[in-house]
């Protein structure tokens, strides 16, 4: 019994930070990404995963602490860097290391140095991200799986592909209304 509980907690924790939703089936847990639901090819997803891994590897070589303080999200070769770094020099270093990876087409550097990140702020940001994803799921004119959301210090960063300008307006308006959101920064492209 304890084993199943540990698997459920691990899957839920992993899903919270990966954007995947855990599914409970017959007492077991299955987690899976939403790659198949997105308006992007499997090859694009594999390429983005490869870019993520190569950027994170470069950050780790600079410093394991830098690696732990920077969140990297890629979508079709566009890289979003978020997080609070303890060393101000790391903001430029993280961007430089990202650009050094072959296949990177754009880097949005949203790193800050507002001091040490607190566990309570990290948890709050996780809840804001979850609330934003939930809010988009219930919008009938929005294909929510086309958007990646990351929250840092209550600032929501959204990346993805909107099917229309109207859909983008709905997404941004919806995210801005989520409780505890200070600001929404959009890196969304319109098809």
Number of domains the chain contains: 3
- C-alpha 126/C-alpha 124 separation (Å) is 5
Give the tens place of pLDDT for each residue, 100-119. Answer: 999 999 999 999 887 555 77
140, burial (CB in 10 Å: exposed 0-12, middle 13-18, buried 19+): exposed
* 143 plus 181 within the same structural domain: yes
Final residue of a structural domain among 72, 93, 112 = 112
* 125 plus 91 within the same structural domain: no
Supply the CATH number for residue 58's domain: 3.30.300.130
* 56 plus 11 within the same structural domain: no
pTM equals 0.65
* 155 plus 178 within the same structural domain: yes
* 101 plus 129 within the same structural domain: no
> Which residues span the domain enclosing 24?
2-33
* 129 plus 98 within the same structural domain: no
Give the tens place of pLDDT for each residue, 29-76. Answer: 333 343 344 455 555 567 888 999 999 999 999 999 999 999 999 988
Position 163 scores a pLDDT of: 94
* 152 plus 170 within the same structural domain: yes
* 14 plus 48 within the same structural domain: no
* 124 plus 156 within the same structural domain: yes
Position 5 scores a pLDDT of: 40
- C-alpha 9/C-alpha 52 separation (Å) is 25
Lowest mean pLDDT among 67-71, 73-77, 88-92, 127-131: 73-77
CA 128, 132, 153, 80 dihedral sign is positive
Final residue of a structural domain among 81, 112, 143 = 112
* 25 plus 46 within the same structural domain: no
- Dump strand ranges (E) for 43-145: 71-75, 78-84, 106-112
Spatial CA neighbour of 155 closest among 85, 84, 105, 99: 84
The overall average pLDDT reported for the chain is 80
């Amino acid at each position: 019994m304890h084993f199943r509980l540990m698997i459920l907690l691990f899957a839920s924790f992993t899903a919270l930070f990966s954007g995947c939703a855990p599914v409970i089936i017959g007492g077991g847990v299955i987690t899976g990404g939403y790659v198949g639901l997105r308006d992007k090819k499997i090859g694009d997803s594999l390429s983005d995963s490869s870019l993520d891994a190569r950027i994170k590897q470069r950050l780790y070589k600079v410093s394991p602490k830098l690696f732990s303080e920077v969140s990297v999200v890629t979508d079709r070769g566009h890289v979003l860097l978020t997080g609070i770094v303890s060393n101000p020099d790391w903001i430029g270093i993280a961007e430089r290391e990202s650009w050094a990876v072959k296949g990177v087409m754009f880097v949005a550097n949203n790193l800050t140095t507002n001091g040490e990140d607190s566990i309570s702020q990290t948890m709050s940001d996780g809840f804001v991200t979850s609330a934003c994803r939930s809010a988009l799921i219930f919008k009938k004119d929005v294909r929510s799986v086309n958007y990646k959301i990351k929250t840092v210090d209550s600032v929501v960063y959204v990346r993805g592909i909107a099917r229309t300008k109207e859909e983008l307006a709905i997404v941004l308006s919806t995210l801005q209304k989520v409780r505890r959101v200070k600001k929404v920064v959009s890196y969304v492209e319109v098809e």
